[in-house]
Amino acid sequence: DQQVKQNSPSLSVQEGRISILNCDYTNSMFDYFLWYKKYPAEGPTFLISISSIKDKNEDGRFTVFLNKSAKHLSLHIVPSQPGDSAVYFCAATAGTASKLTFGTGTRLQVTL
């Protein structure tokens, strides 16, 4: 039972354009969402998060949008840079839970 889904295993975007990574969830108890970025042979690195009381959070080139009614969130990267090429994981948690539930990841490739 995959509670957090990233249906696009890969995405290719040209440098300077917008990258949009999508994530859907099924557990209505989830109230805090995070995006992690992972380079090969390294652990995931925290990127940005959003609480369910907000619908948007922005940090530099990264913006996360949350649509609670659709149980959908997206990560926008503008402008995309070659160093953004990595696997991006969406994660979620509920209330006082002690664990994150991760999606399967989307591999982003930013081309020159």
Partner 1 sequence: GAGVSQSPRYKVAKRGQDVALRCDPISGHVSLFWYQQALGQGPEFLTYFQNEAQLDKSGLPSDRFFAERPEGSVSTLKIQRTQQEDSAVYLCASSLNGLEKLFFGSGTQLSVL
Residue choice 42, 69, 70, 83 for contact with partner 1 (CB under 8 A):
42
The answer to whether 102 contacts partner 1 (rule: CB under 8 A) is yes
Task: Find, among 14, 9, 66, 13, the residue nearest to 35 by Cα.
Answer: 66
The smaller minimum CB distance to partner 1, of residues 60 and 69, is found at: 60
* Range 61-90, binding partner 1 (CB under 8 A): 89
| Of 65 and 102, CB closest to partner 1 | 102
Among 41, 53, 70, 112, binds partner 1 (CB under 8 A): 41
What is 11-62 written as a DSSP string? EEEETTS-EEEEEEE--TT--EEEEEEE-TTS--EEEEEEETT-SEEEETTE
